[in-house]
Amino acid sequence: MAETLTIARPYAQAAFLFANSRQALGAWSEMLELLAAIAADPALSSLIDSPRLTEAQRADLFIDIGGEHLDDKGRNFIRLLAENRRLKLLPEIAALYEIQRREAEKTVRAELVSAFPVSDAHKASVIEVLKKRLGREIELDCSIDSGLLGGAIIRAGDLVIDGSVRGKLERLGGTLNY
């Protein structure tokens, strides 16, 4: 894993610097997200590794699937990755790019996992609290996990706030065992 991140980092950096210079961070996020999904597809994975395809054919495959969602610079990026046999690194490249984009835009993606659906008012209050605590804009993703029994878990970067009933019971059980 560390090796793939090391190899992917310069490509992510180059994509970020290019997109930032063109004020196209969002557009490149969308392109890289699509390309990462294509590279991660199990059916295409075997084609990427196929010795029967040339690097140009692999690039054309990605470009054809990406279609109108790729601009000229995105297509050139795919060709470069194909020439260097780095198409499989697209998920890592996209993830590293997103880290840089969020840092530049001073945003953090946070996740709110709750036992039950959360109201818009509650989402807004979570965003405000995290905004004050982290000093950044917050992009909040919400999901439901009935296994939590009640409460919620909030993850934002390295910060984890476990206010779930399951988490409290586990902590109580750990305390009682000592």
CATH number at residue 84: 1.10.520.20
Asked if residue 29 lies in contact with residue 97, where contact means CB atoms within 8 angstroms, the answer is yes
Rounded to 5 degrees, φ, ψ at 149 are 75, -40
Query: How far is residue 146 from each of residues 70, 116, 162, 167, 170, measured CA to CA in Å?
Result: 39, 7, 15, 13, 16
What is the reported pLDDT for 68? 92
pLDDT tens digits for range 22-31: 999 999 999 9
How many structural domains comprise the chain?
2
Residue 132: domain span: 107-176
Give the domain-ending residue among 87, 102, 117.
102
> What are the C-alpha distances in Å from 160 to residues 49, 89, 118?
38, 28, 18
Instruction: Record the pTM.
Output: 0.73
Domain boundary among 72, 102, 132: 102
Residue 48, Cβ neighbours under 10 Å: how many? 18
Same-domain status, 17 and 90:
yes
Over pLDDT 70: what percentage of the chain?
98
113 and 56 share one domain: no
Predicted confidence (pLDDT) per residue in 65-97, tens digit:
999 999 999 999 999 999 999 999 999 999 999
Q: Per-residue pLDDT tens for 24-63?
A: 999 999 999 999 999 999 888 887 888 888 999 999 999 9
Q: Are residues 69 and 15 in the same domain?
A: yes
Residues 111, 65, single domain; the answer is no
State whether 65 and 6 are in the same domain. yes
Cα 73 to Cα 26, 35, 70, 103, 162: the distances in Å are 14, 13, 8, 23, 43
**Residue 1: pLDDT above 60?**
no
Do the Cβ atoms of 64 and 103 come closer than 8 Å? no
User: For position 178, what pLDDT does the model report?
Assistant: 60
- What average pLDDT does this structure show over 106-121? 91
Q: Are residues 142 and 91 in the same domain?
A: no
Residues 98 and 118 in one domain: no
- Domain boundary residue among 102, 133, 149? 102
Per-residue pLDDT at 26: 93
